[in-house]
Chains A and B, each alone.
Chain A
Amino acid sequence: MQTQLNQQEGQATAHRKDAAAANSILVADCGSVLTKVSLLGLVEGQYRLMARGEAPTTLAAPQEDITRGIVQAINEIELVTGRQIIVDGRLLAPEQPDGNGVDVFVTTISAGGPLRLLVLGAASPTLTDLVSQAVSGLYAETHALPSPTFTASMAAGQLSQPGATPLPGVGPVPWTPERLALEWRRQIDRLRELQPHAAIIVGMADGPTGATPIQEACQLLVNAAQEQREKTRLFPLPVLYAAAPQYVEASRRLINGAGEVVRLDPLVSASNLSPISLAVSSLYERSILRRLPGSETLWSWSSATPVATATSLSSLVRFLAHHYTMNVMAVDAGGANTTLLLAGERGEFIPMVNAGIGVGSGLGELLKRVGSQRISRWLPFDVSDEELRQFVLNTMLHPHVVPSNQRELQISQAFAREAILLTAEALKTGALSNFSPDLVLATGGVLAHAPRPAQAALMLLDALQPRGVTSLVLDRTLLFQQLGAIATVNPVAAVQVNENDAVTHRLGTCVIPYGTLPPDQIALRVVVEYSNGRQVQVEVMSGSIEVIPLRLNEQALLTLYPAPTVDVGLGPGERARAAEEIDGGLVGLIIDARGRPLVLPADKAERHARLLQWSQAIGA
């Protein structure tokens, strides 16, 4: 092969066809805080993780070039492997006979912030929820700005019902023309404050307000565009039109230069969310990813179009669920976003990206949403509101810092629990309560960098509160998010690395009895038969956690004898015996008999004692 140094225009396509036969694959994940780069290579005919590097993401000034962080992370790999990958600031591709360079380069990105999408028109709570549902697998935030007339009509409708109480913020003050004018002003201010990347107009014209909400949505955009005297890229704003189809052309004419209207199927029910999802996904790539500083160079290096990290993780999770015929749940606790993905063995898939909620720059929004009490309930010590707020502010301003003492670590892990919990709660469909994962995959810095594997396990158990029997796997290499993207160019590499490297950090199998756990009595008797014939029997008290030694690469047969009112997945009191041997892990076999839902003691001293007790029991 001939040596090529990728230029701005890139030679990516030239070696894209060779990706499936690549000797080496370099994969970068540009997170909001850190950029992680992994080098995969063929070792004895199998793709393996050879080295990885990490560097701060360099989106902000003074670097303002996403590739600089990637290069710094690659430099770490170069140092470890002795392989030269970057020459004169450019990626050396394909791999050279002397072993330098790489054949394939792929990227996933979660940096750049979420796409802010305004929901305009007859933006009822139902339609706004549907839009949120449509974009739930993407890095996107929705902000509803219902038309003033529609809001007034909703308020009037609410008040006319017997015994109805006024909607918060809309009643009981009558909607006079002055108030409507004020609402217009408020909406324009709100629009300017939100700095949206796009808008979607929703609502049919068959309500009491007719087509007025659609007209007002257009008017709002026009007014805001006229007031926009600053030099920004806000207007013309991409506008997705998913409202009454008969008014699409009229709306296009009305919006004129203030927006670029894209017509979609009208949004009326959950059955037509896909077009919105696809359109917003495309807008995300156009308005966020392609506008990242340094994106041109990054695109030119890449063997496949860079994708959002959540999209890549989704591909992996769906693949695993299909391949192993099991229910898979994936959690990514990131700095700016928290992602929860459920993939069922029968092809079900429920994504939830909680954009703007995270344990780095997303801490402010997280604290605002859950309040300090929900954070402090996970801490075995007293903490003031002010200390929490100061921690949040400092972390938001310095999202790359790692906890330097035990107190900071525990606070950051408490926030991680709530970020995951909040994301689980956002799955309003009840999907989570009916979903029984066979495997929980956990990734993201706060989990991967937990000093002890048991700390990660406890965070997952506290936040996800799974039931029955499940396996916990921790992605300490932070490779999971990238495997989906790797699969697009080389599926074999994705599978082999997943099996050989990414899942080597199995935390262990968990047994989580639920139902009515008799207080201060035995909830469950566990019999473990090790491969060497040794047998261990453990009685687990309600309200406690026990860990039975079962190390990594060890297997054992498990028999569970629950108390009559306790369920381990087969019904109350039903004995369960695993048909196959269960796997051990870094923590061991975890029996979490604290009950579901997990209720923390209301008394502070008792709660502190319990938290410490659970932490010690699991080895966190």
Chain B
Amino acid sequence: MAYPLGWSVRLQVVVRRERWPGGSRAGAVALVYPGQMVEPDQPVIRLKREEHGEELAGLPRLSLPAVTRKLPAIHPTALALPALGEETVPAGLRGRVVDVTARGGVVIESQVVAIQGVLGAGPQVAGVLTLWQALGNDGSRSVQPIPPGAILVVPGPLSFLLLRHALNSGVVGIIASSIVLRDLEGFLHADLLELVNSPGGEDLQSRLPPLTIMLTEGLGSLAMPARLLQLLSCYQGRVALLSGFTSVRRHALPELLISLTAAEAEALPSQEPDLALVPGARVRVCSGDYCGRTGEVLSLFLHRQRLPSGVRAQAARVLLEEGEVIVAALSCLDRIG
């Protein structure tokens, strides 16, 4: 199914994730040991930098006329790794260290709010969750300063210019609803199809521009559902862990993990995700004219229904959030809650 975690939003789930900043890094040293408790901002790995200004070599390159137009230049420093020396990697999660991997990665078990994206790019990063507001409080358009090291939440669709702005501001990650394919490929300087289809895609992530991206709705110009935005705003200011890695071959999707405090974990319901499409289930349409829209299953048809394409398929009546009732094939619905 589409979501390895079950639903696209899990309010309370225990996960184990290897903290690894991506790529093949020599000289990574774990600063913690199995059994130790860690905080999200606590350094857990020390990295030794081996190379100067690694270029975007070896990435699948674009060849389509549509995306080889002259694009505004990315600031050169944004594409280069920091100078020779050492750096530390924060945990990003609160929890218990359960393992240290052979390459020096640290496996942390944590109780989190997990949000799964539809598409993304970029390695795992940790940063402070920051809501981006395009308009000032008085409604006037203003350029909001973006704190370096933040994971920025953009309520609407992304654009190439916004991505560049975020990159040049030192933001480490960005979460948005959607983006036009051309803009995303132009920014990544990579063929997205090859990127998500590559058997060794994880290595390629670290060669992308250092800005991890997660799209909650996918390609196009879809808006972020209000309840998701509300959820993200509740955790503004918290250190979170974001991965943009999307791989068809490895069934991997981007995810944002926000560690919960013990009190929060106790207060939030822990629910096993049920993937069955039953009346009352919250779903997202993942294909066709209503792609990206969310709603609730009203009823299931007993017999296969003929879709506008002519294909006969098991189907459901779905009440969209906008109030419209549609008939959709079950295979075009992802249960999200």
Q: Using CB atoms and an 8 Å cutoff, list the residues of chain A in contact with chain B.
A: 56, 58-63, 113, 116, 189, 192-195, 227, 229-231, 361, 364-365, 367-368, 372, 384-386, 389-390, 392-394, 396-398, 400-406, 408-409, 449, 451-452
Contacts and interface: CB of A to CB of B under 8 A. Distances in A.
A53 B64 CA distance: 42
Contact of A384 (B66, B118, B288, B334): B66
B180 to A, nearest CB: 8
Interface in B182-237: 182, 192-194, 196-200, 203-204, 218-220
Given A386-B66, A403-B309, A403-B311, A397 B196 contact: yes
A116 B193 contact: no
A436 to B, nearest CB: 33
Interface size class of B (residues with CB under 8 A): 35 or more
B148 to A, nearest CB: 30
B79 interface: no
Contacts of B273: 62
Contacts of B306: 451
A404 B285 CA distance: 11
Nearest to A113: B249
Interface string B48-75: 0000000000100000111000000000
B286 A390 contact: no
Contact of A230 (B102, B199, B288): B102
Contact of A367 (B193, B200, B219, B287): B193
A306 to B, nearest CB: 21
21 contacts: A56-B1, A61-B4, A62-B3, A63-B1, A193-B200, A195-B199, A231-B101, A384-B66, A386-B182, A389-B64, A389-B192, A390-B219, A392-B193, A393-B192, A394-B291, A396-B196, A397-B253, A401-B332, A405-B308, A405-B309, A406-B309
Given A367-B193, A394-B287, A396-B248, 15 more contacts: A56-B331, A364-B193, A389-B193, A390-B220, A394-B219, A397-B246, A401-B287, A401-B331, A403-B288, A404-B328, A404-B332, A405-B288, A405-B307, A405-B309, A449-B311
A404 B286 CA distance: 10
B92 to A, nearest CB: 19
Given A60-B4, A404-B289, A230 B248 contact: no
Nearest to B105: A230
Interface in B283-317: 286-289, 291, 306-313
A230 B100 CA distance: 11
Given A384-B66, A390-B219, A364 B196 contact: yes
Contacts of B165: none
B119 interface: yes
A571 B253 CA distance: 58
A193 B198 contact: yes
B30 interface: no
B219 A189 contact: no
Q: Which of B1, B103, B273, B313 has the most CB of A within 10 A?
A: B1
With a 10 A CB-CB cut-off, give which of A116, A229, A409 has the most chain B CB atoms.
A229
Given A393-B193, A404-B309, A452-B310, A230 B101 contact: yes
Given A56-B1, A60-B251, A230-B103, A398 B287 contact: yes
A361 B197 CA distance: 8
A418 to B, nearest CB: 15
A41 B1 CA distance: 32
B192 A409 contact: no
Nearest to B313: A402
Contact of A192 (B2, B119, B203, B328): B203
B288 A116 contact: no
Nearest to B272: A62
Nearest to B327: A404
Contacts of A195: 199-200
B329 interface: yes
Interface centre among B204, B218, B309 (most CB of A within 10 A): B309
Contacts of A56: 1, 331
Contacts of B289: 404-405
Contacts of A372: 64
Contacts of A361: 248-249
B263 to A, nearest CB: 27
A386 to B, nearest CB: 6
A193 B203 contact: yes
A306 B64 CA distance: 43
B98 interface: no
A620 to B, nearest CB: 10
Interface of B: 1-6, 24, 58, 64-66, 101-104, 118-119, 180-182, 192-194, 196-200, 203-204, 218-220, 246, 248-249, 251, 253, 273, 275, 286-289, 291, 306-313, 328-329, 331-332, 334
A502 B147 CA distance: 64
Contact of A397 (B2, B4, B6): B2
Given A230-B102, A393-B192, A193 B251 contact: no
Contacts of A368: 193-194
Most chain-A CB neighbours within 10 Å: which of B6, B181, B199, B246? B199
B311 A385 contact: no
Contacts of B104: 229
A452 B310 CA distance: 8
Contacts of A404: 287-289, 307-309, 328-329, 332
A408 B193 contact: no
Contacts of B313: 402, 449
B219 A393 contact: yes
Contact of A62 (B5, B65, B180): B5
A385 B64 contact: yes
Contacts of A61: 4-5, 251
Given A393-B119, A393-B193, A402-B309, A189 B58 contact: yes
Nearest to A227: B24
A139 B140 CA distance: 59
Identify the 4 closest CB pairs spanning chains A and B, nearest first. Answer: A451-B310, A404-B288, A193-B200, A61-B4
Contacts of B1: 56, 58, 60, 62-63, 400
Nearest to B273: A62
Contacts of A406: 308-310
A398 B194 contact: no
B183 to A, nearest CB: 11
A51 to B, nearest CB: 14
A386 B249 CA distance: 22
Given A195-B200, A397-B118, A364 B248 contact: yes
Contacts of B192: 389, 393
Nearest to B198: A193
B56 to A, nearest CB: 14
A168 to B, nearest CB: 15
A607 B313 CA distance: 32
B315 to A, nearest CB: 10
Contacts of A396: 193, 196-197, 248
A398 B311 CA distance: 17
A449 B329 CA distance: 13
A452 B309 CA distance: 11
Contacts of B65: 385
A56 B251 CA distance: 14
Nearest to A68: B275
Contacts of A189: 58, 203
A397 B248 contact: yes
A428 B101 CA distance: 46
B102 A229 contact: yes
Contacts of B64: 372, 385, 389
A398 to B, nearest CB: 5
A486 to B, nearest CB: 26
B23 to A, nearest CB: 11
A56 B204 CA distance: 30
